[in-house]
Amino acid sequence: MQYTIFDTPFIKTLMRWLSMFILKISGWRIEGRLPDIPKIVLIAAPHTSNWDFPITLFVAFAVKAKIYWMGKDALFRFPFGRLFKWLGGIPVDRSRSNNIVEQMIRTFSDNDRLIVTIPPSGTRKKVMKWKTGFYYIARGAGVPVVLAFLDYRRKAGGFGPVFVPTGDIESDMKEIRAFYSGIHGKNTVTEEPFFINPGCIEKSNEMIAP
């Protein structure tokens, strides 16, 4: 994987202390611990605001986690492409959704350690649709899913259970969604039933990002 801000000497240390300071003065606290597992699909829900991204980065720096995130390829064009990649971004072509899953499965296979953040609710609109791409990536790569969260009501962010997909997606998604039932995003949204679309991340007009 590409060299990122999490690999950059001095800056990563500076960002850790800065992140902890910002979280503290803004009233945020970190709950749970990121498990010491080499390869993880990290999800967080609900994804309702652009603020989710910087807060996620602050939490990652604070716990010394090196994370990557997936974003639409248009974000990585000039002049901000290099910056977003340095921040851990992985460009994906959402017009070829089946290849996204295959690409990420290969990426996990090619790396000894890798944490990829994929929000299961790939939208910031008033209606939130749960998507299943993260599930097929984890299942295909043989890696666990860590249920991370940002709860704006309690100003708490962190890490919940480690979930291993069983292949029974309906049962698994019910269990995953149950964990997030009491967690509140920055903006109020209405949840729709998740859409099972094997082998792909459903196409969206929104950024696939933390």
pLDDT at 208: 42
**What are 114's strand-pairing partners?**
39
- Residue spans per domain, the chain: 5-192
Does pLDDT of 202 surpass 50?
Answer: no
pLDDT tens digits, 127-160 = 667 888 899 999 999 999 999 999 999 999 999 9
pLDDT at 196: 55
pTM of the predicted model over 0.85: yes
| 18-26 LR contacts (CB < 8 Å, sep 24+) | 18/61, 19/57, 19/58, 19/59, 19/60, 19/61, 19/62, 20/61, 20/62, 22/58, 23/55, 23/58, 23/59, 23/62, 26/155
Residue 36 is which amino acid?
A: D
pLDDT band at 72 (very low <50, low <70, confident <90, very high): confident
The count of other CB atoms within 10 Å of the CB of residue 118 is 27
pLDDT band at 20 (very low <50, low <70, confident <90, very high): very high
What is the average pLDDT across 169-188? Answer: 92
What is the average pLDDT across 76-95? Answer: 89
